[in-house]
Amino acid sequence: MTAATDHSTAARALAAAGDSESARDVAALDGAARGVERKLKPARSGLVERLLYGPAPSTAELQAGAALARRIAGSEAAVVDAALGSLARGEAFTADARLSAALRRTVAAEKAFGYTVPAAFGGAGASYGELAAVEEALAGNGLGPLAVEISGQLTIGAGSLLAYGDERQQRIFLPLVAEGRPTAFGLTEVGVGVNAKKVQAYVEQQADGDYRLFAEGPANKLWITNAVHGGLIGIVARLGRQSQQLGLFIVELPAADVALDAVHDYEFRCEPSRVAAFVANFNSRLHFRNFPIPKANRIPADGVEVLFYCLRMGRCMLAAMAAGYQRMLARDASHYARQRIGVGGPVIRHEVPRLNLGRILGGALQSRALAYLSLQQDADGVDLAGLRDLTKSAAAGAGVESMLACEHVLGGRAFHGGSRVNDARVNLHLFGVVEGEDDLILMGMVRDVTQRFVERYLSPLLGVIDAANTARDGGKLPPERRLLRIGPAAIVRHPARALPALLRLVVQPKLWLLGGWVAVNAVADLVRLPLRLLPAGAFARYRALPPLLRRHARYAERKLKMLRWTYLGLGLFYQLELTRAQIPLQRLGKCIEHLVSMLAVCHHAALGDETTREIAALQAQLLRDKYRALRLVSGLRAMQRTRRSVAAVGASLEADRCSLIADIEPQPFGHPWDERPG
């Protein structure tokens, strides 16, 4: 199935709502995601979907991540000890605070850059779980930038070759990756960010079958981590200037920039991107004109599909790094609070700094619990849709909150130049944007975990509204005249279209299927209601947890199940408008994120010691407070008011008539995308 024909319910809903541009973009991205599903062929449906719609996962499944973390503990020692030795000798960073060649050589000798590459290709043959342990320990000990570099190298770098490269490409390039040749993945361009399918770089095929790559001006590849002269890169480019098809090419970058001259018929430039995050790493802007790529270097796959495939491990590694970073913040902040005398004695004695320290530790535990749970789920062949996105969003969000909490404990020294806490700040902030921006992926997560339910029970509604928006001549009504909801307001305003639509809906056999779902689930919930009077310890399911954590796990599971009603309520209320009602979807995503995190934290700590359980109990309570502050169906009127206000503010900004900022000139952006190729 091609991206163009692979229309998901979401894309059809967008088209029916009259948003054809989003429909096309979403259909294209969904096509790539479906390709990943076909490749991975998950043996079981996703954990988050099962937590909402059943069947409930077993306790063993929920604790499998903690068991993985325990099994692999210590496996990271060789790489991490070597790296820390280099740090202790003062040779890990150069004078301008970048990762040094000496550090890279030291860890390369321990096969760090080929950690998950099979031994047959010169790698260490470790699992992604073991890689996560390395990532966490490096980030936890002041070597976050090395963790970033190795993660990029092995998730989107080697990962793409291992999963999609042919036998020759693996044989030639994987040994280079394993020996430490920096390996990048280049999708983002000056003119294209999150809308990945829109990349403008393209190749032209020559008579001999080889390719020439053009990525000029706005099509320059931008912010490419690990991209450096002499390094390797997987480059995403269109297969022809006007083609809709995206290819992927493995390229060995020249050792220096190349200009057109008597010897060279192509141009290449690799310049620092000047980004002020990942500052210790290579991060570049790449220019290609007529750049030769042998035909054998085309990886036989869609470039965005490969990215999505690799991002699933990238997101787990990001969570492991976030766990490490937060453990480091907790270490340094608690060390300070124990020594520093504040108002009325050492800072550590006071409740608010203790809460801040608890938040940091809780964020670390949450990120770790989700990272290893996701990794074990993936290793067990469970569909990672839902959990991988939630894991990344929760870990990135916790990282930023922990940074703020750390600043409030450490005070001015949190900003001390050269301190590892100060150095962590931008990277932790960036974690919310790279590997998928948090809010976007949370909304995608909601779509993923509700997809089966929507297709089964709510899609008839889509067909009926679509029919109500069809003009007499068979064409579609213009977007401004479309009905997005069939409810009292629509019946009053457009009775001629809304009433017949309502009648058509009532006679839909699938509506009765939904009625059956409602009846069965309502009865099941009612039957279970009296069980709430029993303490959590009365159930074998919760006896697998320490007493301190049982009530939290039970609460999280109960509320997650209730969210299936919340989603139904939102679906029936918003109907087609849900395609553009991002605020409710994002809030629902956050609710799911908080509750799944609670559950993960409790089960992870079940295999931990007393201090870990105490952290888990605090974090579970803090997450519960956050969840309770988010009102969805019960706060629908307030949310609608918020949405109306957001629409008004957004419209004034869109029309550039907001008086509060009218007298301030906007600053020109870095990397403008309207420049001419040159």
Interface positions with ligand FAD (CB under 6 A):
152, 184-188, 193-194, 223-225, 275, 277-278, 283, 430, 433-434, 437, 440
Q: What's the CA gap between 177 and 413, in Å, rounded?
A: 39
Is 8 or 283 the residue whose CB approaches ligand FAD more closely?
A: 283
The whole-angstrom distance between residue 49's C-alpha and the CA centroid of its chain comes to: 17
State the residue for tokens 């934290």: 601
Q: What's the closest the beta carbon of residue 142 comes to ligand FAD, in angstroms?
A: 19
Minimum separation from the CB atom of position 155 to ligand FAD (A) = 10
CB nearer to ligand FAD: give 185 or 268. Answer: 185
Instruction: Please state, in angstroms and rounded to a whole number, the distance separating the CA atoms of residues 50 and 377.
Output: 13
Of 283 and 366, which CB lies nearer to ligand FAD in the complex structure?
A: 283
Q: Rounded to the nearest whole angstrom, what is the least distance from the CB of residue 284 to ligand FAD in the complex?
A: 9
**Which candidate, 367, 353, 435, 438, places its Cα nearest to that of 398?**
367
Please give the Cα distance from 293 to 281 (Å, whole number): 26
H or E stretch covering 288:
strand 283-293
Nearer to ligand FAD by Cβ, of 188 and 326: the residue is 188
CB of 477 to ligand FAD, least distance (A): 23
Name the residue among 504, 517, 495, 521 with its Cα closest to residue 462.
504
Closest to ligand FAD by CB, 86 vs 188, is 188
Cβ proximity to ligand FAD, 188 vs 597, nearer residue: 188
Residue 433 or 502: the one with the smaller Cβ distance to ligand FAD is 433
Neighbour-count burial for 619-638, b at 16+ CB within 10 Å, e otherwise: bbbbbbebbeeeebbeeeee
Q: Is 277 or 636 the residue whose CB approaches ligand FAD more closely? A: 277
SS3 of 57, please? Answer: coil
Could you tell me if 211 and 235 are in contact, meaning their C-beta atoms sit under 8 angstroms apart? no
> What's the min distance (Å) between Cβ of 225 and ligand FAD?
4
What is the spatial distance between Cα 585 and Cα 447, in angstroms, rounded to a whole number? 9
Q: Which residue's structure tokens are 């390709």?
A: 35
Q: Is the dihedral of CA 128, 129, 134, 135 positive or negative?
A: positive
Residue of 323, 307, 279 whose CA lies nearest to 76: 323
Closest to ligand FAD by CB, 114 vs 186, is: 186
What is the Cα–Cα distance from 416 to 572, expressed in whole angstroms?
53
CB of 97 to ligand FAD, least distance (A): 15
Output 153 or 377, the one with its CB closest to ligand FAD: 153
Closest distance between ligand FAD and the C-beta of residue 536, in Å? 39
| Residue from 266, 276, 280, 270 nearest 235 by CA | 270
385 burial via Cβ count (<10 Å: 0-12, 13-18, 19+): buried
With a CB cutoff of 8 Å and minimum separation 6, the contacts of 407 are 414, 415
Query: Which residue, 184 or 248, has its beta carbon nearer to ligand FAD?
Result: 184
Least spacing, CB of residue 237 vs ligand FAD, in Å: 12
- In eight-state DSSP terms, residue 181 is -
| Least distance (Å) between residue 429 CB and ligand FAD | 10
Three-state DSSP class for 225? strand
C-beta nearest to ligand FAD: residue: 193
For residue 280, the minimal CB distance to ligand FAD (Å) is 11
Sign of the dihedral through C-alpha 348, 352, 356, 358: positive
Q: Pick the closer one to ligand FAD by CB: 434 or 639.
A: 434
What's the token pair of residue 103?
Answer: 């550090």
Rounded Cα gap, residues 547 and 549, in angstroms: 5
In angstroms, give the least distance from the CB of 148 to ligand FAD: 9
User: Minimum CB separation from ligand FAD for residue 190, in Å?
Assistant: 9
Are the C-beta atoms of 577 and 96 separated by less than 8 Å?
no
For residue 413, the 8-state DSSP code is: G
136 closest CA partner among 65, 183, 180, 80:
80
Instruction: Provide the minimum distance between the beta carbon of 325 and ligand FAD in the complex, in angstroms, as a whole number.
Output: 15
Task: Identify which of residues 129 and 191 has a Cβ nearer to ligand FAD in the complex.
Answer: 191
